[in-house]
A and B are shown apart, each in its own frame.
Chain A
Amino acid sequence: GAGVSQSPSNKVTEKGKDVELRCDPISGHTALYWYRQRLGQGLEFLIYFQGNSAPDKSGLPSDRFSAERTGESVSTLTIQRTQQEDSAVYLCASSLAGGQGAAGELFFGEGSRLTVL
C-alpha cells in the first residue's frame, strides 16, 4: 500500500479480554516499530523488528504484551487480559533501514485507539 496501515482504528473492549492489533508496513520496509501513546503523553517504545533478526522486546511493559512479525510483512500486537491502564493509541511505524540516518525515516500509521472498560 501507499502507507502504513493499522487496524482496527478503534477498539473498545472489556477488562480481561484479549485484543489483537494489526500493522501492515510499507512494502519493502525491513524495520517495524510499535509504540504506545497514552492521552497527552509522548510515544512509549514497545518493540522493534528488523528483518529476520530477533526482535528488540525491551519496551514491552509486561508479559501480557507480545508481538509477532512474519518476515518483512504484517505484524500483530497482542495484549492479553487487558487492563484499564492499557487504554491508549498504539502506533506502528516502518522504515527502510533501522531508523537511522537519512534512509531511516520512520513512517507511521494512523494508530489503533484501544479503550478498555
Chain B
Amino acid sequence: LAKTTQPISMDSYEGQEVNITCSHNNIATNDYITWYQQFPSQGPRFIIQGYKTKVTNEVASLFIPADRKSSTLSLPRVSLSDTAVYYCLVAAYSSASKIIFGSGTRLSIRP
C-alpha cells in the first residue's frame, strides 16, 4: 500500500482558497487517490477521488500531476465550517484490500 505524507496542520482565513498537498511517491499504476474530511466527533466522509489530471465536484477540486506522485486538494473560498481534518488515501481499484488512513491535515479556518 502506498504511503502518504501530508502537512500536519494548516491555517487560513474565511474566503481564501486552501490547497493541501499530499505526497505518494510509491503510488502504483492501479491506485486511486481519495480524500476524506473529518469533523470533531464524527466519522470521516468522502470528499473527492481521482486517478489523474483534474477532478472537480461541488465541494472541492483535486489536481493530480502526470507522474501522480502527489495530489493537491483545493477548497475554494473556505468558511469556518471547513475546519476539519483532511485525509489523503491511495488504494488500488481491484479486489479486496484494507484501507489505511494517514495522520491527516488539521485545517483551521479563522474569521
Contacts and interface: CB of A to CB of B under 8 A. Distances in A.
A102 B43 contact: no
A58 B49 CA distance: 26
Interface of A is mostly: loop
Q: B interface, how many residues as a size bin?
A: 20 to 34
A109 B42 CA distance: 8
B95 interface: yes
A46 to B, nearest CB: 9
Contact of B44 (A41, A43, A59, A100): A43
A101 B44 contact: no
Interface string A26-43: 000001010100000111
Contacts of B13: none
B45 interface: yes
Interface of A: 4, 31, 33, 35, 41-43, 45, 48, 50-51, 53, 56, 58-59, 91, 93, 97-102, 104-111
11 contacts: A31-B96, A42-B85, A42-B101, A97-B96, A98-B95, A98-B97, A101-B49, A106-B36, A108-B45, A110-B43, A111-B43
